[in-house]
């Protein structure tokens, strides 16, 4: 593992792009990776893990012991403090029966760097377990990242899985996010994506939820703000394959600027007469009444847009 | 008495249909001025022209003057910075913005801002501070938050479009008191209402019908006129007065 010096350098660069200072000051990380180097590793109680460095990144295996309940989130960071050609991260997470945990994962791409990031993640949430995976991305305004990430999740009987992808700061870059879930009896899958694209950013988000078990539920929610010349596509597919399963796709994309291209494709397939899958998709400019309300309180148009957008991305 | 707002022979046509047909109105500084009138009379349209919302940036003709300044053509922010604000008949809902944040934004230029007090004045307790201003608030709660945000801003002129609609009958007195407090804190209030008990707290009232001002004066008299005349008026029910 790295020296304090290395950690300080990385901390400085990541705090600069908006990562909470507190994470570093209070040693919150259970795992911190810079490109393909493990900088910090600190085990969380009830969580067994294996992390190995590879030529271009890291491979992780995480096993949350059955019944583990953690108040504090397990905190991870996969980042790059310097330009590198590719960073590959591969992970496998198994959340044991009845466990209840939250992972807070920071993606940090330092100001001005360029990089391709490939990520593959397999998630298995066992019976009666609850797992929240908050994936928070911080990029610099001058950073260019090509991100390609795929998550494959299995949600067991009466288990709950919520995955949130948030691009909180900076340029989105060129992004492809694919999330897939197979949901068993009474299981719940919630996918949320919140992003803002600027300049010539390209965003592609695909949520696929298979509701395979009786009374399983799926929610796929996306909020994409497309500014300047951004191209954004959201594809939400939900398959209602079992009795009394319920699915909902809720996608709202806001466009700001004449040169944006935005597409929303909700696909709803039902194979059981008692299943119900619904969708709402809205593409449009910022709601005028919201804008005018804030302006009537004295905000300028740009300030009002910012408030509304930050609210949607919350 | 000093006029804070003067509406001078304002005319407006929308899609070829005359909506305001020469409206004249003077609101004096420090007063509570009620605007009454039947549905479709043009009350909200007039309010929109005063604030500049809904693409109502200026009338086809006539003047809207705020404290000696012509506001025709100014954008919404400029009018707000002069000290005008408006509370919508149907307020907007915001995703991901809490009541506290909304009140703080509204009152960011008010050095004496006290968000908890603003909520209390509209009959909501501090448990609402971290609620979102979205569709999880009931219709009446949302209206109250809107009034709280006007209190937070403490403008020179507040245009309230039906502050009482969607508010339960038992709370009318709260709303009346809240409007009086607004005035005590230096805000002149122009309020559109359909309710007599709210109109009665006004110093002056104006009755609008069919895009025109029919009468301005004592709220009781104007209210009486509204009740007796308007329901049977010649414009809306020509057969009652021997028309077509
Ligand atoms: N954008 C518009 N396009 C067409 N007609 C409009 C538009 N805005 C207002 N109107 C018409 O102008 C008239 C006045 O509307 P306004 O909303 O000002 O009435 P109001 O007095 O506020 O009524 P209410 O008591 O029902 O709120 C109505 O007949 C309405 O249909
Ligand atoms: Mg109206």
Q: What phi, psi does A298 have (nearest 5°)?
A: 105, 0
pTM: 0.85
B64: nearest Cα among B80, B46, B83: B46
Strands A31-34 and A37-41, by their bridges, are antiparallel
Is a pLDDT exceeding 50 seen at residue B103? yes
Strand partners, A279: A249
The least confident of A17-31, A227-241, B160-174 is: B160-174
Pairwise CB contact (< 8 Å): A295 & B96: no
Kindly identify which residue of chain B lies nearest to residue A194, measuring between CA atoms. Answer: B96
Quote the pLDDT of residue B234.
53
Of the candidates B94, B97, B106, which has its C-beta nearest A297's C-beta? B106
**CA-based torsion, B178, B179, B183, B189: positive or negative:** positive
What's the mean per-residue pLDDT of chain A?
95
Is a pLDDT exceeding 80 seen at residue A87? yes
CA-B41 nearest atom, ligand 1: 21
What is the mean pLDDT of the segment spanning A5-17? 94
Q: Among A298, A299, A301, which would you mutate to test the B interface (most chain B Cβ atoms within 10 Å of its Cβ)?
A: A298
Pairwise CB contact (< 8 Å): B88 & A313: no
| DSSP 8-state assignment for residue B232 | G
**Long-range Cβ pairs for the range B178-185 (8 Å, 24+):** B178/B121, B178/B122, B178/B123, B178/B147, B178/B151, B179/B32, B180/B32, B181/B121, B181/B151, B182/B150, B182/B151, B182/B158, B183/B30, B183/B31, B183/B32, B185/B151, B185/B154
Please give the distance, rounded to the nearest whole angstrom, from the Cα atom of residue B177 to the centre of ligand 1: 29
Strand partners, B14: B17
Q: How confident is the model at residue B230 (pLDDT cuts 50, 70, 90)?
A: low
List the end-to-end C-alpha distance of chain B, in Å, as a whole number: 44
Tens digits of per-residue pLDDT, A266-298? 999 999 999 999 999 888 888 999 999 999 999
What is the mean pLDDT of the segment spanning B85-96? 94
- State whether CATH 3.40.50.150 applies to domain B3-230: no
B143: nearest Cα among B124, B163, B160, B126: B163
Is a pLDDT exceeding 50 seen at residue B240? no
Of the candidates B81, B92, B96, which has its C-beta nearest A298's C-beta? B81
Quote the pLDDT of residue B235.
56
Pairwise CB contact (< 8 Å): B149 & A307: no
Pairwise CB contact (< 8 Å): B80 & A297: yes
Tens digits of per-residue pLDDT, B119-153? 999 999 999 999 999 999 999 999 999 999 999 99
Residue predicted with more confidence, B155 or B237:
B155
CA-B89 nearest atom, ligand 1: 27
Please give the share of chain B, as a percent, with pLDDT higher than 70.
Answer: 94
Please give the distance, rounded to the nearest whole angstrom, from the Cα atom of residue B210 to the centre of ligand 2: 13
Do A59 and A15 meet the contact criterion of CB atoms below 8 Å apart? no
Q: State which residues have CB under 5 angstroms from ligand 2, the bound ion.
A: B 44, 89
Residues of B in contact with A287 (CB under 8 A): 92
Is a pLDDT exceeding 80 seen at residue A169? no
Quote the pLDDT of residue B196.
80
Tens digits of per-residue pLDDT, A35-84? 999 999 999 999 999 999 999 999 999 999 999 999 999 999 999 999 99
**B193 CB under 6 A from ligand 1?**
no
Kindly identify which residue of chain A lies nearest to residue B156, measuring between CA atoms. Answer: A297
Residues of A in contact with B51 (CB under 8 A): 292, 296
User: Phi-psi region for residue B154, left (φ > 0), alpha (ψ -120 to 50) or beta?
Assistant: left
Q: How confident is the model at residue B108 (pLDDT cuts 50, 70, 90)?
A: very high
Report the length, in residues, of chain B: 244
What are the structure tokens assigned to B177, written together?
Answer: 């008191």
């Amino acid at each position: 593992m790295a020296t304090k010096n290395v950690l300080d350098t990385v901390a400085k660069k990541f705090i600069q792009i908006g990562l909470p200072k507190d994470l570093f000051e209070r040693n919150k990380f259970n795992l911190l990776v810079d490109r393909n180097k493990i900088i910090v590793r600190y085990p969380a109680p009830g969580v067994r893990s294996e992390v190995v460095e590879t030529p271009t990144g890291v491979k992780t295996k995480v096993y949350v012991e059955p019944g583990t309940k953690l108040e504090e989130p397990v905190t991870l960071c996969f980042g790059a403090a310097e330009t590198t050609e590719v960073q590959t991260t591969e992970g496998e997470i198994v959340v044991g029966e009845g466990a209840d945990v939250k992972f807070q994962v920071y993606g940090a791409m330092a100001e001005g760097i360029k990089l391709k990031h490939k990520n593959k993640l397999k998630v298995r949430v066992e019976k009666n377990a609850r797992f929240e995976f908050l994936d928070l991305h911080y990029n610099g305004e001058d950073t260019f990242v090509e991100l390609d990430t795929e998550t494959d999740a299995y949600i067991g009987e009466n288990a709950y899985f919520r995955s949130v992808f948030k691009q909180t700061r900076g340029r989105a870059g060129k992004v492809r996010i694919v999330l897939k879930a197979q949901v068993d009896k009474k299981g719940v899958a919630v996918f949320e994506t919140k992003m803002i694209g600027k300049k010539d950013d390209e965003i592609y988000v695909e949520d696929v939820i298979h509701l395979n078990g009786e009374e399983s539920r799926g929610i796929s929610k996306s909020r994409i703000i497309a500014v300047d010349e951004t191209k954004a596509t959201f594809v939400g597919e939900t398959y209602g394959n079992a009795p009394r399963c319920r699915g909902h796709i809720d996608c709202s994309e806001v466009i700001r600027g004449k040169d944006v291209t935005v597409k929303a494709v909700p696909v709803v397939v039902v194979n059981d007469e008692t299943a119900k899958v619904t969708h709402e998709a809205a593409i449009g400019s910022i709601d005028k009444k919201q804008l005018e309300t804030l302006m009537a309180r004295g905000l300028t148009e740009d300030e009002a847009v910012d408030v509304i957008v930050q609210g949607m991305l919350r | 008495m000093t006029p804070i707002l003067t509406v001078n022979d304002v005319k407006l046509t929308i899609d070829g249909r005359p909506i305001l047909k020469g409206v004249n109105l003077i609101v004096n500084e420090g007063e509570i001025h009620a605007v009454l009138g039947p549905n479709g009379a043009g009350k909200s349209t007039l309010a929109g022209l005063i604030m500049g919302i809904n693409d109502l940036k200026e009338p086809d003709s006539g003047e809207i003057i705020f404290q000696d300044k012509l506001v025709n053509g100014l954008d919404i922010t400029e009018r707000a910075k002069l000290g005008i604000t408006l509370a919508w008949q149907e307020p907007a809902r915001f995703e991901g913005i809490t009541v506290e944040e909304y009140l703080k934004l509204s009152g960011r230029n008010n050095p004496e801002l006290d968000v908890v007090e603003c909520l209390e004045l509209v009959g909501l307790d501090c448990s609402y501070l971290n609620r979102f201003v979205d569709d999880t608030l009931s219709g009446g709660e949302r209206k109250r938050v809107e009034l709280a945000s006007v209190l937070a801003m403490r403008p020179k002129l507040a245009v309230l479009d039906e502050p009482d609609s969607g508010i339960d009958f038992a709370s009318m007195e709260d709303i009346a008191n809240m409007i009086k407090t607004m005035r005590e804190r230096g805000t002149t209030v122009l309020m559109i209402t359909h309710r007599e008990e709210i109109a009665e707290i006004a110093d002056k009232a104006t009755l609008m019908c069919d895009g025109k001002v029919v009468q301005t004066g004592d709220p009781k008299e104007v209210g009486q006129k509204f009740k007796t005349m308007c329901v049977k008026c010649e414009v809306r029910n020509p057969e009652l007065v021997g028309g077509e």
